[in-house]
Structure 1
Amino acid sequence: MYFPEFSVRAPLRAFLLLTLVTGCAHAHTFSLSWDNDLLLGLDQGYTNGVRLSYLSSPSSDQNAGSARLSRAAGQWLKGLPGIDPESQNQAVSFSLRQLMVTPEDISREQPSRDDLPYAGFLFLSSTAWSWDADSITGYGMHLGLVGPESGAEASQKWVHTLTGSEEPRGWDDQLGTDVVGGLQGTHARKLWRSGRKGQLEQELAWVGSARVSSFRSNARVGWIWRTGRYLPINFVPDYAGTSSTVGLPAALNDAGRGWSVFIGLGLEYVPYSYLEENADPYQFEESPVLAQVGIGVTWQWQNLQTALILRATTGEEQSNKESFSFGTLSLTWAY
């Protein structure tokens, strides 16, 4: 498989450098997530996404070198709502993400103008998190590439070869090169909890987020219910199935050996979408208000957690109202 030198290797080197400069002590957390509609037997719309994420040690860890970065972030952002270095933990995450969208019929060399275009995206992002047992807040930024330099074509063809799926033939007609970026914020709060550690526990929480970006500007609100044994401190699993790093902070703290099942419901308002604004000559019009549902299961053992999430969204494409549905597999580990 060939990846263009700039499109994948350069951001990957930058990601590795970011993880190294945070220190080489213990208590690091890594996460690898894979979105794919093939997990639901589909191959249309949002077809594939991969995210590799790293989280620095929490600011309360006095023995970890990367905790210095966490404490510095807490002091720098302490004037913002939801950031309290005196009573909360802080940490910083770095992520490298690649995703792609394709039309429903990938067998055509010249894609239908009445469908989605081929498009690939590659992003680097960083988020500073602050949390306690009842709330979590994050502020971050992202910068990325759209177009052939994203490496999306090579990635999809490799996955389809690996899975024995049909080869996509229309990537020569994908959206052209562009640079995108923006800022984002997230806040979540626990509303209700019952049960004790080692017994059956239940929790209900809400989460809200906003993003101002030249890629996709949006505002979201959602509610998450989960139940299980030895629930980790982090009460916001990746219910939306978009490889979010919101699941990283405290994902494994005091988790022990346990499991969880969760359901999430959400609404999203999208005032701007790069895909819609730059889809010409494709007839793609995105709905500004979307409803989302996600269900998932997790299993954790000591410093390892795995998850499977299934997600559906009401019609992204206003013209035909078809939903975007896909599954996410993720692995999170700490050392």
Structure 2
Amino acid sequence: MAIRSWLPLALLALPSAAAHAAATCTGSALREHPPAVNFRVDNDLFGGRHQDQGYTNGALLTLVSPNLRDYTDDPCLPAPARWLNRRLERLHPGRFEQQNMIVSIGQGLFTPTDRSRADLIEDDRPYAAALLANFGYNARTGNQLRTTQLALGVVGPAAQGKQVQDAVHRLLHDEKFKGWQHQLHNEPVFRLLHERMWRRPARTPAGWSWDAIGHGGAALGNLTTHGNAGGELRAGWKLPDDFGSSPMRPAGENTAPTRGGRLPGWSGHLFLTADARWVLRDITLDGNTFRRSHRVDKRHVVGDLGYGVALIHGRWKFALARYHRSREFEGQRERPVFGSFTLSRTL
């Protein structure tokens, strides 16, 4: 079945699986951390004028499970998830106080700066699109969290990047990018990521307060290979008991296990996040692994600085963020700037 055929089915299947979890789970699992569906959109147009380049657009739909007794037999997970987890058992963490699972599907698009050129722009980043499914396992003890995530997918024309971008630009009556014939070739990709987080919690979680969250980890795969470290600061009213509000973090945006559930009424906070990466491989810059393709000389040290706001009321949460990234390759004209918004709903 072509990707353009099964992608809509997958997007419909994730909310259906979340509804199944809500229907079959009972007790403290639902009270402390009910199943949720998150939808995130990243776009460099949110970063300001003349920013339609680099990491130009991304979309991610994520299903978050309730807190689980285990990953293979808990009735809060639908049967296909339990079947999958038996085959990914090596990725599961050991015994912790709380644990949950996430499943997501998403697409990312990468383009050079000049959309009008149909020739190969050798000194700018390659055209690339990635379509990925991600399976994540979070485990929490107190104010420490471990997350292990496996991403599987494809880079190249099969990821449907040109078609998606053309459709969006047609809808917005915007000029199309003309060089997609030079995009990376089709290649199956994977990435295994592990990250650990430490949180200094709010002293008064029901009122005005602040917290701090540190993180460090690494990723291995032909999609990306890197090591990273950073942190996040948050300040506001009724801070959530989770591990960050930055949508770009592997366990951010209320996907990690929580204690006590969300506080009643309105809550909101500001957040500031930073991350530094030592990059050994990035297929969107290095080009295809086994075939000749367009590539650029990447920089091995890359940093992100992000800031945003999150609002929560009842079952709904909305987060808006903006990110500034250092230059990713030699000769890059502008530092990338892009925005992100996330809409979440617990079931």
TM-score range, shorter chain: 0.7 to 0.9
**Are residues 1:189 and 2:198 paired?**
yes
Matched with 2:35 is 28
In structure 2, the partner of 1:242 is 248
Aligned pair in 2 of structure 1 residues 299, 271: CA closer, same or farther (>3 Å)? same
Give the superposition deviation at 1:18: 6.5
Which of residues 116, 124, 138 is equivalent to 2:147? 138
Check 1:89–1:103 CA distance in 2 against 1; reply closer, same or farther (3 A cut): same
Q: After the TM superposition, which residues 1-335 of structure 1 pair with which residues of structure 2 at under 5 Å, given as runs?
A: 6-14=2-10, 17=13, 24-26=20-22, 27-41=34-48, 42-59=51-68, 65-66=76-77, 80=93, 83-85=94-96, 88-190=97-199, 192-238=200-246, 242=248, 244-247=250-253, 248-250=255-257, 253-256=261-264, 257-278=266-287, 282=294, 284-320=296-332, 322-335=334-347
Give deviations 1:138-189, integer Å, cap 9, x for gaps.
1121111111110111111122223333211111221111111131111100
Q: Over residues 191-250 of structure 1, what are the superposed CA-to-partner deviations in whole Å (9 max), with x where a residue is unaligned?
A: x34441331110011011211011111111011110111111113222xx5374533124
Runs of 4+ in structure 1 over 6 Å off: 67-70
Aligned residues: 323
RMSD over aligned CA atoms reads 3.0
Amino acid paired to 2:216:
G
Deviates more, 1:285-294 or 1:272-281: 272-281
Quote the Cα distance in structure 1 between the aligned partners of 2:238 and 2:304. Answer: 27
- Call closer, same or farther: CA 1:79–1:59 in 2, change over 3 Å: closer
CA distance in 2, matches of 1:118, 1:79: 35
| Cα distance, 1:22–1:31 mapped onto 2, change above 3 Å | closer
**Residue 47 of structure 1, CA deviation:** 0.2
Structure 2: tracts of 5 or more residues without a match: 23-33
Contact 1:103 1:111 in 2 (8 A): no
Q: Distance in 1 between matches of 2:220 and 2:61?
A: 22
- Tell me which moved more, 26-35 or 163-172: 163-172
Residues 49, 286 of structure 1: alpha-carbon distance in 2 compared, 3 angstrom cutoff: same
SS of the equivalent of 1:297 reads: strand
> What is the alpha-carbon distance in structure 2 between the residues aligned to residue 79 and residue 235 of structure 1?
19
Q: TM-score normalised to the size of structure 1?
A: 0.86
- Calculate percent identity across the aligned residue pairs: 22
Tell me the TM-score normalised to structure 2 length: 0.83
Given that 1:23 and 1:64 are in contact with CA atoms closer than 8 Å, whether structure 2 keeps it comes out as no
Distance (Å, rounded) in 2 between the aligned partners of 1:164 and 1:227: 40
Kept after mapping to 2: 8 A contact 1:23/1:65: no
Distance, in Å, in 1 between the alignment partners of 2:183 and 2:78 is 42
Measure the CA separation in 2 of the matches of 1:105 and 1:79: 44
Q: Judge conservation of contact 1:268–1:289 (CA < 8 Å) in 2.
A: yes
